[in-house]
Chains A and B, each alone.
Chain A
Amino acid sequence: DQQVKQNSPSLSVQEGRISILNCDYTNSMFDYFLWYKKYPAEGPTFLISISSIKDKNEDGRFTVFLNKSAKHLSLHIVPSQPGDSAVYFCAARGAQKLVFGQGTRLTINP
């Protein structure tokens, strides 16, 4: 019973274009959402977050959108750069713990 899902295991985008990573959740009690980025042989690192009272949060090239009615969030990266190639995990807060999705591998092609 996975409460947070990232249904695209991988995504390939050309350098300079927009990357859009998606995440769906089932628990309407989740009130805080995060994106983590993971390079090979390293642990995940925090990227950006959003509270459920907002629908958008922006930090440089990264923007997270939250659609509570659809229980969906997305991460937009624009413009995409080669260094953005990594696995991206979305996570949601519930019952004082984080619930993670299974990650999407993003590859930025030159």
Chain B
Amino acid sequence: DTAVSQTPKYLVTQMGNDKSIKCEQNLGHDTMYWYKQDSKKFLKIMFSYNNKELIINETVPNRFSPKSPDKAHLNLHINSLELGDSAVYFCASSPTSLSTDTQYFGPGTRLTVL
């Protein structure tokens, strides 16, 4: 039973396209996150949702739009993809929005923009 799952695992696409990455957690957690692991390997938070409400929105281009249809799902839609969007994107969840809560990560989605 996968706790936090992401689809797809790999995504290769052309510049200018629009793509989505889906994330689901079956842990009953209230809070979900999207992180980006950049070329220098730092994991950086992009967004956080608590019970479908946006609570963290880092300085991310507005081409990135998260959507949480329910608290078990947090999808990431990216418009007009650029070369610099190539990265590994990780979804995570935690029981609450307290940052001392352990975060549980999905396996990552490797996005390559050509």
Contact = CB atoms under 8 A, between A and B. Distances in A.
Contacts, number: 54
Contacts of A65: none
Given A97-B48, A100-B35, 19 more contacts: A9-B41, A32-B99, A42-B107, A42-B108, A43-B92, A43-B106, A44-B90, A46-B104, A49-B100, A96-B99, A97-B45, A98-B45, A98-B99, A100-B42, A100-B44, A101-B42, A102-B41, A103-B41, A103-B43
Contacts of A9: 41
A21 B107 CA distance: 23
Interface of A: 2, 9, 32, 36, 41-46, 49, 89, 91, 93, 96-103
A2 B42 contact: yes
Contacts of B48: 97
A45 B100 contact: no
Max chain B Cβ within 10 angstroms of own Cβ: one of A32, A46, A49: A46
Contacts of A100: 35, 42-44
B97 A44 contact: no
Interface of B: 4, 9, 35, 40-45, 48, 55-56, 90, 92, 97, 99-100, 102-108
A18 to B, nearest CB: 24
B53 to A, nearest CB: 14
A76 B106 CA distance: 26
Contacts of B9: 41
A99 B56 CA distance: 13
A49 B99 CA distance: 12
Nearest to B100: A32
Contact of B99 (A43, A97, A101, A102): A97
A91 B55 CA distance: 20
A36 B90 CA distance: 14
